[in-house]
């Protein structure tokens, strides 16, 4: 949805806010720049929080990241959350950067963010969250930030993450949703998502660490892993699967509706889901 034309994006996020959703997440890959996209969202809404899930640390230096976030937090008080992450080797390499060890790289980047100069002394610093999957990055999120935003994870990961983060850090896993009454239709809507993320080493290794076999994780993945990371079925079934993350310790679930038309905002599906999850 982030790559909708700006007028359509503004209308879509205003509709999503009117449905009652309190936070709108936006990613960053090869489309809109994340902080500029957050400004579009904030300018088109009245109360909703915009959260980056995530802004890639390799595509802007720490001062640019911190001061961009401060600018948004100053312009829209208490309505912006900065989620940052190390992204993935292919995306980083394509932009001419050298991907390095994730945890030391992120630790050094957080150090540099803390030291970033900013002439507007009164500007607040927004909450910062890390894209964390493994225990070491999750521990860094607990140590240095407001919490973690895991992506492409089953409920058992949420349970593990809460134990590492303890009770005083925010945990906001992403959860994919497909409105489909049968598995064939669900997989038709969700296999593009599965192929994408099972093709990336860090997501696959994380699932292997949790006990999934290489055979089950061969793209587009077994039905069992599909069911573990994608909530599908009718409205009640989907809502129940999302509640599984909350029961496992999540404070917030970042819902991503998957459809056969990724260039169209899934407003009808979100409208069906809103009364059951809000």
Q: How many domains does the chain contain in total?
A: 1
Q: What is the pTM of this model?
A: 0.96
DSSP-based three-state secondary structure for 220: coil
* Digit-coded pLDDT (tens) for 14-35: 999 999 999 999 999 778 899 9
**Residue 40, domain member (yes or no):** yes
Closest among 102, 243, 255 to 173, alpha carbons compared = 255
- The CATH number of residue 69's host domain is 3.20.20.30
Its domain, for residue 122, covers 1-131
**Residue 257, domain member (yes or no):** no
Q: Do 132 and 150 meet the contact criterion of CB atoms below 8 Å apart?
A: yes
Beta strands in the chain (DSSP E): 23-26, 49-52, 55-56, 80-85, 128-130, 147-148, 170-171, 174-179, 230-233, 254-257
Strand-by-strand arrangement of the 230-233 sheet: 230-233, 174-179, 254-257
- Residue 192's pLDDT is 95
- Residue 261's pLDDT is 83
**Residue 85, domain member (yes or no):** yes
**Residue 18, domain member (yes or no):** yes
| Contacts (Cβ under 8 Å, ≥6 apart) of 38 | 26, 50, 51, 52, 72, 80
Q: Do 171 and 151 meet the contact criterion of CB atoms below 8 Å apart?
A: no
* Digit-coded pLDDT (tens) for 82-136: 999 999 988 888 888 999 999 999 999 999 999 999 988 788 999 999 999 999 9
- Cα→Cα distances 244→33, 180, 201, 253, Å: 32, 19, 26, 10
Give the pLDDT band of residue 147 (cuts 50, 70, 90).
very high
**Residue 232, domain member (yes or no):** no
The distance of Cα 259 from the centroid of its chain, to the nearest Å, equals: 17
Q: Reply yes or no on whether the pLDDT at 168 is more than 90.
A: yes
**Residue 96, domain member (yes or no):** yes
**Residue 172, domain member (yes or no):** no
Q: Reply yes or no on whether the pLDDT at 1 is more than 90.
A: no
- Cα–Cα distance for residue pair 87/29, rounded to 1 Å: 8
Give the pLDDT band of residue 272 (cuts 50, 70, 90).
very high
Helix axes 102-114, 135-144, angle to 10 degrees: 10
- Cα–Cα distance for residue pair 240/246, rounded to 1 Å: 10
DSSP string covering 101-129, please?
Answer: -HHHHHHHHHHHHHT---S-TTPPPPPEE
For the residues 155-174, what does the mean pLDDT come to? 97
- Residue 122's pLDDT is 80
Closest among 21, 24, 14 to 49, alpha carbons compared = 24
- What Rg value do the Cα atoms of the chain yield, rounded? 18
Give the pLDDT band of residue 151 (cuts 50, 70, 90).
very high
Q: Do 35 and 56 meet the contact criterion of CB atoms below 8 Å apart?
A: no
* Digit-coded pLDDT (tens) for 36-80: 999 999 999 999 999 999 999 999 999 999 999 999 999 999 999
What is the overall mean pLDDT for the chain? 95
Q: Do 129 and 83 meet the contact criterion of CB atoms below 8 Å apart?
A: yes
* Digit-coded pLDDT (tens) for 216-239: 999 999 999 999 999 999 999 999
Q: Do 177 and 232 meet the contact criterion of CB atoms below 8 Å apart?
A: yes
**Residue 35, domain member (yes or no):** yes
């Amino acid at each position: 949805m982030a790559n909708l034309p700006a007028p359509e994006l503004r209308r879509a996020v205003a509709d999503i806010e009117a449905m009652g959703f309190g936070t709108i997440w936006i990613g960053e890959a090869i489309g809109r720049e994340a902080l500029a996209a957050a400004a579009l969202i904030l300018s088109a809404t009245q109360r909703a929080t915009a959260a980056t899930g995530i802004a890639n640390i390799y595509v802007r230096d720490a001062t640019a990241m911190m001061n961009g976030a401060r600018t948004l937090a100053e312009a829209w008080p208490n309505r912006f959350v900065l989620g940052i992450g190390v992204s993935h080797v292919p995306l980083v390499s394509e932009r001419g950067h050298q991907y390095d060890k994730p945890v030391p790289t992120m630790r050094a980047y957080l150090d540099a963010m803390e030291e970033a100069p900013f002439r507007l002394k009164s500007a607040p610093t927004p909450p910062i969250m890390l894209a964390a999957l493994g225990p070491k990055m999750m521990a860094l999120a607990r140590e240095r930030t407001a919490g973690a935003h895991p992506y492409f994870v089953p409920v058992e990961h949420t349970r593990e993450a809460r134990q590492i983060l303890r009770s005083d850090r925010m945990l906001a896993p992403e959860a994919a949703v497909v409105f489909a009454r049968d598995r064939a239709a669900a997989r038709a809507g969700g296999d593009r998502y599965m192929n994408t993320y099972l093709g990336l080493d860090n997501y696959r290794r994380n699932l292997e660490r949790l006990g999934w076999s290489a055979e089950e994780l061969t793209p587009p993945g077994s039905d069992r892993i599909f069911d573990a990371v994608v909530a599908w079925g009718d409205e009640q079934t989907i809502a129940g699967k999302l509640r599984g993350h909350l029961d496992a310790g999540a404070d917030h679930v970042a819902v991503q509706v998957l459809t056969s038309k990724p260039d169209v905002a899934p407003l009808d599906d979100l409208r069906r889901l809103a009364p059951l999850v809000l």
